[in-house]
Amino acid sequence: MLDGSVWRAKSFGASGTQVGEVVFNTSLTGYQEILTDPSYAGQFVLMTNPHIGNTGVNIDDEESIKCFLAGLIIRSLSISTSNYRCTESLSDYLSKRNIMGIYDVDTRAITRRLREDGSLIGVLSTEESKTDEQLLEMSRTWDIVGVDLISSVSCKEPYEWVEKTGLEWDFNSNRRYGETFHVVAYDFGIKHNILRRLASYGCKITVVPSTWPAAETLKMKPDGVLFSNGPGDPSAVPYAVEAVKEIIGKVPIFGICMGHQLLGQALGGKTYKMKFGHHGGNHPVRNLRNGSVEISAQNHNYAVDPESLPSGVEVTHVNLNDGSCAGLAFPQRKLMSLQYHPEASPGPHDSDLVFDHFVELMRKEKQSI
Ligand SMILES: NC(=O)CC[C@H](N)C(=O)O
């Protein structure tokens, strides 16, 4: 890693040499959804839960069309899989997708280091011919800051999304209205469960690429626009901030994670890189409007600086671990956003009703016209 440390481990999945940013994720389970979350592009995910692989993988839990992350780092790779939904072992799955994994490495020691030093660039290699010094040099000359990662994970053409959450997994199906709202969803690396939850809440969705012009979006006369999650540095994608700026105030808006950060910038605020970010399914967040606490799923390395926001913008949620901004609203401009993941997948479902709040925002707007 960039701090000069070298860790010996066993390899599984693909072989080769890969560079990326090392982050740790504290989720106890849900590794398949984590592997297919496009927001991990350019990163190695280190799971702090030591036992990974015991439920295998299945065909339904994919959060995108492929694994975009740089690789997986775990303590112990389960020698067997036991789950009625399992169709493949984790190891075969990673091999087929050409993703590197390592195990039998002291993940607790690496996590402690990341907590002290912050996220670090690392290199995974199975190539005996490469010296430690060569690998360390790769970690010194590669960076994730300032790089546009959303364009490499976004869809290339618009498409419609209709699939809802399967009934056996829909724990919140009582709050539905039978009315349909057309949402244009910007794909900065969108997780499928955001689309499924919106569909379950009565939305007809058109997913558009990250570079889709705002004018084209407005021509579609959507009831609302969603700005999705996505990988990397929000300051590296000024074209997306411009699109957000052009849409603000014209239709109801919901931003999630990267979408929230782009909204923060479009409103005139600043984002900054956090020391080691938030990645896990156990982050307490306080809703400042009603005082309630949600346990949330999170995955981000950047955050919006609330001090930098203009007046009128309300901080609606704070992360209780470090006090950072976890949600915004600007009622006059019909927008709301969360830094974390209400769609979970994986993670707790406490925040699911925010999709209902977005639908409410669209309903009010429709009634007022
Ligand atoms: N999940 C996301 O959308 C992540 C947003 C951004 N890439 C960050 O790391 O902060």
Residue 285 tokens read as 């967040």
What is the pLDDT at residue 154? Answer: 98
Location of structure tokens 């694994």: 67
Please check whether residue 227 lies inside any domain of the structure: yes
Q: Is 343 assigned a catalytic role?
A: yes
- 181: part of which helix (H) or strand (E)? strand 181-187
In a shared domain, residues 159 and 33 = no
Q: Domain boundary residue among 118, 141, 164?
A: 141
Question: Considering the entire predicted model, what is its pTM?
Answer: 0.97
**Looking at ligand 1, which residue's alpha carbon is closest to its atom 5?**
258
Residues 136, 166 within the same domain: no
Q: Would you say the CB of residue 297 lies under 6 angstroms from ligand 1?
A: no
Q: Is the CB of 42 under 6 A from ligand 1?
A: no
134 and 154 together in one domain: no
Domain of residue 122: give its range. 10-141
Residue 177 has what pLDDT? 62
CATH number reported for the structural domain that contains residue 20 in this entry = 3.50.30.20
Find the mean pLDDT for residues 77-94: 96
> Is the separation of the CB atoms in 1 and 139 below 8 Å?
yes
Number of domains within the chain: 2
Q: From the CA of 77, how far away is ligand 1's center (Å)?
A: 27
Q: Hey, which of 39, 188, 226 would you mutate to test ligand 1's pocket, going by the most ligand atoms within 8 Å of its Cβ?
A: 39
Is residue 155 over pLDDT 90? Answer: yes
The structure tokens listed for 320 are: 């209780």
Secondary structure (DSSP) of 222-289: -SEEEE---SS-GGG-HHHHHHHHHHTTTS-EEEETHHHHHHHHHTT-EEEEEEEEEEEEEEEEEETT
Residues 137 and 205 in one domain: no
Residue 257 a catalytic site member: yes
Q: What is the overall mean pLDDT for the chain?
A: 96
List the end-to-end C-alpha distance of the chain, in Å, as a whole number. 56
Does the active-site annotation cover 242? Answer: no
Q: Is the CB of 229 under 6 A from ligand 1?
A: yes
Q: Is 257 in the pocket of ligand 1 (CB under 6 A)?
A: yes
171 has a pLDDT exceeding 90: no
Has residue 176 got a pLDDT over 70?
Answer: no
- Beta carbons of 71 and 124 less than 8 angstroms apart: yes
Active-site residue (options: 257, 278, 317, 325): 257
Contacts of 35 (CB under 8 A, 6+ apart): 45, 67, 69, 72, 93, 94, 99
Same domain, residue pair 89 and 125? yes
Atom of ligand 1 nearest to the CA of 256: 3
| Ligand 1 pocket member 301 (CB < 6 A) | yes
- Give pLDDT tens digits for 236-280: 999 999 999 999 999 999 999 999 999 999 999 999 999 999 999
Is ipTM strictly over 0.95?
yes
